[in-house]
Chains A and B, each alone.
Chain A
Amino acid sequence: MATTLSGWGRYPVIEAERRLTRSRGDVAAALSSGFTGIAHGLGRSYGDTALADQVLDTTPMDRLLELDAQGGRLRCQAGASFDDILGVIVPRGWFLPVTPGTKFVTVGGAIAGDVHGKNHHREGCFGDHVDRLSLMTADGTVVECSPTANAELFDATCGGIGLTGAILDATIRLKPIRSAMIDETTHRATSLDATLKLFDRTSDATYSVAWIDCLATGDALGRSLVMTGEHAPEGPLTPHTAPRLSVPIDAPNALLNPLSVRVFNALYYRRMLGDTRSRRVHYGGFFYPLDGVAGWNRLYGKGGFTQYQFVIDRDAGRDGLRTILRRIAESRRGSFLAVLKEFGPASRRPLSFPKAGYTLALDFKIDDELFGLLDELDAIVLDHGGRLYLAKDARMSEQTFKCSYPRWDEFVDVCRRHDPRGVFRSRQSDRLGLTG
C-alpha cells in the first residue's frame, strides 16, 4: 500500500510502498519477490537517505536479543531504538558508546549513517563500537561481518547508508556508567577565535560541543556557548522519561523569520550569567534537548527544512569557518540552533563522514532561494577540503559528493559485488551516482 514518506526535514516528501519487516524471513521474502529500495527505520535522517519507491520498514524488528551485563555488550535487532535501549541498559549501569542528538534512531540507522556524537574527538563514530553485524545482501544471503571477518563489507556497511544490504542485527559495545547524570560545564566564547581556543583547551573532555550564534557579525562573529560533559561519578541510574511537549501542527511561515531567529539566538547566548557555569544534569537533557519536544520539525513549517552539516579540515578551519559564517550571517537565514564541534581523526570506512576538523550543522527552512545559497556554501566547503554529512543531505550534487568522498568508487565496487542488480538504492544514492 502506498504511503507518504519523508525524512526528519520533511523535504522531500514521496509516495512509497512500505513493507513491514518483522523478522529476517520477511526481509528475505521481500527480496525474493522483487523488492528494490532501502531500509527505513524511525526516519530521522533528514533528507532522502532512507527514501525510495519501496522501503523496508524495520521498526517491528526491535528485539533486544542479549545483554551481557558483565562485559557490556548488547546484541539487538536493527530496528531497536536508542530510546528503548537506554531504558533497559541505564538502570544496569551501561550507556551507549556514541549517540547522536536524538534517541529516536534505530541501531540499523546509526550503523548505516555511522553516526557521531559529542564524544567523536575522543571515541569516534558508532561504527567504532560495533563488534559484529549480520547483513542480508541482495540475493538473500546472510553475511556475518565484523572488523575482522568480511571486514571490507563491514566497513562499507558502517556509513554505507543502507546500500550494502539490510542490517538484521548487531552487537554493540556499551560504556560503563555509575550515574545517569552528566557534569556539564558551559563556557561563553565571545568570538570564533575564542570558541576554537576553548575547543583546544577542553580537548580532554569526554563530550564537547558548541552552540554558535550564526547571526552574529563583526567582532562577535562565531560567538558561542561551548558545553563539555563528563559522566557523573555517582548518582541515580534513572533512565529518561517520555517527551511531555509536542508540536501538534505545522508552524505558520511567519514564525521563522530573521527577527525571531535573531532574538532567539541572542537570548540563548545570554542565557547564563557569568562566563562559565557548572551543573549536574540528566543525560536526557544533555544529549537530547530537542527530544523533549515531540515533532519539533514542524516548527519549520509545511515546506520542511534541511540540515546543512559540513566538516572542513582542521588546518583550514579558522578561515573557512569565518568565510562560511559570514556568508550565512549575510543571508540572514540562520537557524534556531547551529552546532559546532571539533572532530577527531577519520575512520577507515569509505563513506563515513567525520574527519579531523570542524563540523558545523545548521537548519535552513526550505524556500526558492535556499538551494542557491547552499550551492555557494558547498563550493566554500570543498575549497577547504570539506564534505557534507550524507545522513542530513537532501540536495547536494553528484559532483560535490564525488569530489568530497574520494573513496566513493571503492564503496561502489563493494556494493556491486554483493548487489550486482542494484536492489538496494535510495533517492539519495541515485542522485549521487552511487546507484542507477
Chain B
Amino acid sequence: MSNALIIGAHSAIATAVARRLAARGDTLCLVARDADRLADLAADLTTRGAAEVHTAELDVLNVDRHDAALAAAAEALGTIDLALIAHGTLPDQSACEADAELARRAFDINATSVISLLTPLAERMAKQGSGTIAVIGSVAGDRGRQSNYVYGSAKAAVAAFTQGLRQRLFKDGVHVVTVKPGFVDTPMTADFPKGPLWAKPDTIARGILRAVDRRQNTVYLPWFWRWIMTLICLIPEPIFKRMKL
C-alpha cells in the first residue's frame, strides 16, 4: 500500500495508472480541472478498491495555485510515494503556426506548467527523502518534426528538465522517471486513424508502474519506440529537412 499523487488525473493514461493503483489498495490524491468529473473518477477508484481517494481542483495554467494545490495534496497523503504528472494537450500544429498565442499556450500547458509544478514538488520530495516522480513526456520530444514541433518542443523541454532533476534528486533518494509514450489510443487522439503501432492507455500504465518499480530512468512505451526514435534521430539533418515525416 502506498500513496500516490496524480496530476492531470483525467488523462486516459493517468486514469489507467490510477485504476491499477486503486486495484492494489493504494491511497490516491487526484488533481485535475473539472470538479464534477473528479468526483466521478474518485467514486470509480473507490469502487475499484482504493483505500482512500482525495481530490483537488487545479487549472495547471493558474501557476499561482500550484503551491497551494501541492500543499493540500501533501497534507492529504502524508508521504508521497509516487507523484505522476500527466496533464497535457495535443495542440493543432497548423493553428499554432498561424497564431503565436496558441503556440505559447500549448507550450505553457505541456512544458511551463510542468516545470512550475515540478519545482516545489521536487523540494517537498527532497525533504521527504524518498519516493518517485514520474512525468509523461513523449516520443515527439526526441526530434522536432514539422507535423507537431510545438508539442514536440514542449515535451523536449520536459525531457531535459526531468533529466537534470533526476541527477539532482538522486542524492536525496528521490527517483525521477521520464515516460515517453508513442501513439496511444486516447480521447486526445480519437480522430487519428489507428494502426498496429497504437497502444491502449492500460498498456502504457502497466509500463509506467513497471518503470517506477524498477527505477528505470527514461522509458519508451511500448518498448519498440526506443528503436523507432533511435532510427529517426539518426537521419542526418540535411536529409531529414527534406522529408515529409
Residues of chain B within 8 A of A23, CB atoms compared: 34, 36-37, 40
Whether B238 is near chain A, meaning CB under 8 Å from some CB there, is no
- In the bound complex, what is the Cα–Cα distance between A289 and B37 (angstroms)? 35
* Residue among B41, B190, B196 making CB contact with A63, cutoff 8 Å: B41
Q: Is the CB of B40 within 8 A of A67?
A: no
A65 sits at the interface (CB 8 A): yes
Q: Produce 1/0 per residue, A8-21, CB < 8 A to B.
A: 00000000001010
Interface pair A65/B40, CB less than 8 Å apart: yes
Overall SS of chain B's interface: helix
Interface pair B190/A20, CB less than 8 Å apart: yes
Q: State in angstroms the CA–CA spacing of A63 and B12 once bound together.
A: 12
Looking at the complex, which one of B34, B47, B187, B191 makes contact with A66 (CB distance below 8 Å)?
B47
Contact B191 A18 (CB under 8 A): yes
B43 at the interface (CB under 8 A from A): yes
The residue that B196 contacts in the complex, of A57, A88, A248, with Cβ under 8 A, is A248
| Nearest-neighbor residue (CB-CB) of B40 within chain A | A63
Residues of B with C-beta under 8 A to A18: 190-191
Q: Which chain B positions have C-beta within 8 A of A64?
A: 43-44, 47-48
Q: Are A65 and B47 in contact (CB under 8 A)?
A: yes
Chain B: residues with Cβ within 8 Å of the partner, total of 15
Judged by a CB distance under 8 angstroms, whether A241 is at the interface is no
Minimum Cβ distance to chain B for residue A51 (Å): 17
* Residue in chain A with minimal CB distance to B46: A66
| A22 B47 Cβ-Cβ under 8 A | no
Contact with B along A218-260 (1 / 0, CB 8 A): 0000000000000000000000000000001000000000000
**Among B36, B37, B44, B191, contact of A3 (Cβ-Cβ < 8 Å):** B191
Distance between Cα atoms of A23 and B35 in the complex (Å): 11
A60 adjacent to chain B (CB < 8 Å): yes
A63–B191 touching, CB < 8 Å: no
Tell whether, in the assembled complex, residue A67 and residue B47 are in contact, meaning their CB atoms are under 8 Å apart: yes
Is A20 within 8 A of B37, CB to CB?
no
0/1 string, A147-173, CB within 8 A of B gives 1: 000000000000000000000000000
CB distance from B229 to the nearest CB of A (A): 23
Whether a CB of chain A sits under 8 angstroms from the CB of B10 is yes
For chain B residues 44-89, which have a beta carbon within 8 Å of chain A? 44, 47-48
Closest chain B CB from A106 CB (angstroms)? 15
User: In the complex, which residue of chain A has the Cβ closest to the Cβ of B195?
Assistant: A248
Inside 8 A of B191's CB, which chain A residues have their CB?
A: 1, 3, 18
Q: Determine if A71 is an interface residue (Cβ-Cβ < 8 Å).
A: no
Is there a chain B Cβ closer than 8 Å to A77's Cβ? yes
Q: Does A25 contact B (CB under 8 A)?
A: yes
- B10 nearest CB neighbor, chain A only: A22
The answer to whether A57 touches B36 (Cβ under 8 A) is no
* A142 to B36 alpha-carbon distance, docked (Å): 16
Q: How far is the CA of A78 from the CA of B41 in the complex (A)?
A: 14
Residues of B within 8 A of A67 (CB): 47
A63 contact set on B, CB distance < 8 A: 40-41, 43-44
A25 to B39, CA, bound (A): 14
B231-244 near A? 1/0 per residue, CB < 8 Å: 00000000000000
CA distance A66 to B43 in the complex (A): 7
Which residues of chain B from 1 to 59 have any CB-CB distance to chain A below 8 Å in the complex?
Answer: 10, 12, 34, 36-37, 40-41, 43-44, 47-48
Residues from chain A with Cβ under 8 Å of B187 in the complex: 20, 22, 60
CB nearest neighbor in A for B36 = A23
Other-chain residue from B37, B43, B48 in contact with A88 (beta carbon distance below 8 A): B48
Q: Contacts A18-B190, A22-B10 known; A65 to B43 CB distance under 8 Å?
A: yes
Bound state CA distance, A83 and B89, in angstroms?
28
**Between-chain CB contacts (< 8 Å), 16 pairs:** A23-B36, A23-B37, A25-B36, A60-B12, A60-B187, A63-B40, A63-B41, A64-B43, A64-B44, A64-B47, A65-B40, A65-B43, A66-B47, A77-B40, A88-B47, A88-B48
Chain A contact residues, CB within 8 Å of chain B: 1, 3, 18, 20, 22-23, 25, 57, 60, 63-67, 77, 88, 248
Residues of B within 8 A of A (CB): 10, 12, 34, 36-37, 40-41, 43-44, 47-48, 187, 190-191, 196
Beyond contacts A1-B191, A18-B190: 5 other A-B pairs, Cβ-Cβ < 8 A, are: A23-B37, A63-B40, A65-B40, A65-B43, A248-B196
